[in-house]
């Protein structure tokens, strides 16, 4: 029998049920996140990254709890989800992880420069690098062969969208406040890096793959900081997990975003959602 990987989602996976799900299994976490944020992030998750990220983080850990806290053979997280995966694997304390998520969301929200453009359809991964280079953008998320997200100056997005459509792709600007996973996130790096230096990092109980490198975390602090400005290599991460023998993928937390991305990347694997 093949191995199992536990997957933790990132921003964009929020759902209306998140608060109720957390209240049902982790009322203590609901109280803690409201204390650290200074407000109920679930009620304001659609307002911005500063509320959405802590809400999704808590909902992901609650989903993991509702399944009996499985560890599987590997774990991985999409962007924000890496912090939930590292907490679940015992590499970070839960409170430390939550405080880092709150800070990360606030810093990313404050870096309100630029935007993001999703490229959708067969050939998205094939054409993304050329489109990014031609329009001065960065690849932010290599999610699947049919979904890549570009990031950069907002004024460059319409031209990139027109060029993508001429190649037979669908192009959609995302409703985000900044150019996430691009060099425009550099202003968030110093404070986040400093905060990471203050927390204890332990060896995880099971390997956690970094979506920055598509390999198991080697230097947790370094890779989490790099994740602010470098692309999410999710497609490559899933391919690497499959190469390592993973045949069963369990997505915990809100939404089914990751389940869909795995389905578009790998065949003949089992997909489970909490």
Identify the three-state secondary structure at position 2: coil
For residue 125, how many other CB atoms are within 10 A of its CB?
Answer: 18
Q: What is the token pair recorded at 5?
A: 């990987």
- CA-to-CA distance for 219 and 56, rounded, in angstroms? 24
What pLDDT is attached to residue 274?
A: 66
Asked if 150 and 143 touch (Cβ cutoff 8 Å), the reply is no
Query: Distances in Å between the alpha carbon of 76 and those of 6, 9, 33, 153?
Result: 6, 9, 23, 29
- Token duo for residue 270: 């089992």
pLDDT value, residue 136: 97
**In this structure, are residues 158 and 168 in contact, taking their beta carbons and an 8 Å threshold?**
no
Backbone angles phi, psi at 95, to 5 degrees: -65, -40
CA distance 64 to 83: 13
Q: What pLDDT shows up at residue 241?
A: 98
From 79, 91, 177, 210, active-site residue: 79
Count the Cβ atoms, other than its own, within 10 Å of residue 120. Answer: 16
**If you compute the radius of gyration of the chain from its CA atoms, what whole number of angstroms results?**
18
Q: Kindly report the backbone phi and psi dihedral angles of residue 17, in degrees, each rounded to the nearest multiple of 5, phi listed first.
A: -85, -5
**CA separation for the pair 89, 207 (Å, rounded):** 8
Nearest CA-CA partner of 224 in 96, 132, 72, 116: 96
Give the model's pLDDT for residue 1. 66
Contact of 22 with 30, CB cutoff 8 Å: yes
Q: Is 78 known to be catalytic?
A: no
Domains of the chain: 3-111+182-273 (3.40.366.10), 115-173 (3.30.70.250)
Residue located via tokens 């999610």: 143
Q: Which of 241, 244, 272, 269 is nearest to 258 (CA)?
A: 272
Given 91, 181, 182, 210, the catalytic residue = 181
Average pLDDT, 10 consecutive residues per value, the chain (274 residues): 94 89 95 96 93 96 95 97 98 98 96 92 96 98 98 97 98 92 96 98 98 98 98 98 98 93 96 84
């Amino acid at each position: 029998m093949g191995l199992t990987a536990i997957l933790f989602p990132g921003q964009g996976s929020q759902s209306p049920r998140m608060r109720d799900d957390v209240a049902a299994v982790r009322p203590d976490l609901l109280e803690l996140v409201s204390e650290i944020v200074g407000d109920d992030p679930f009620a304001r998750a659609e307002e911005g990254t500063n509320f959405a990220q802590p809400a999704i983080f808590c909902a992901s850990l609650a989903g993991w709890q509702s399944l009996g806290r499985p560890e599987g053979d590997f774990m991985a997280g999409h962007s924000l989800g890496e912090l939930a995966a590292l907490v679940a694997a015992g590499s970070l304390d839960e409170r430390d992880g939550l405080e880092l998520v709150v800070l990360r969301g606030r810093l990313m929200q404050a870096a309100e420069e630029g935007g993001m453009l999703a490229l959708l359809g067969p050939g998205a991964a094939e054409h993304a690098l050329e489109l990014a280079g031609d329009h001065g953008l960065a690849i932010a998320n290599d999610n699947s062969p049919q979904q890549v997200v570009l990031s950069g100056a907002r004024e460059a997005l319409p031209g990139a969208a027109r060029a993508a459509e001429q190649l037979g792709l669908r192009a959609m600007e995302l409703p985000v406040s900044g150019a996430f996973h691009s060099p425009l996130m550099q202003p968030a790096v110093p404070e986040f890096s400093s905060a990471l230096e203050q927390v204890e990092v332990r060896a995880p109980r099971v390997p956690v793959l970094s979506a920055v490198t598509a390999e198991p975390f080697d230097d947790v602090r370094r890779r989490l900081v790099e994740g602010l400005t470098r692309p999410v290599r999710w497609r490559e991460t899933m391919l690497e997990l499959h190469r390592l023998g993973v045949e069963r993928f369990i997505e915990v937390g809100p939404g089914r975003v990751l389940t869909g991305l795995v389905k578009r990347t790998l065949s003949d694997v089992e997909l489970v959602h909490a």
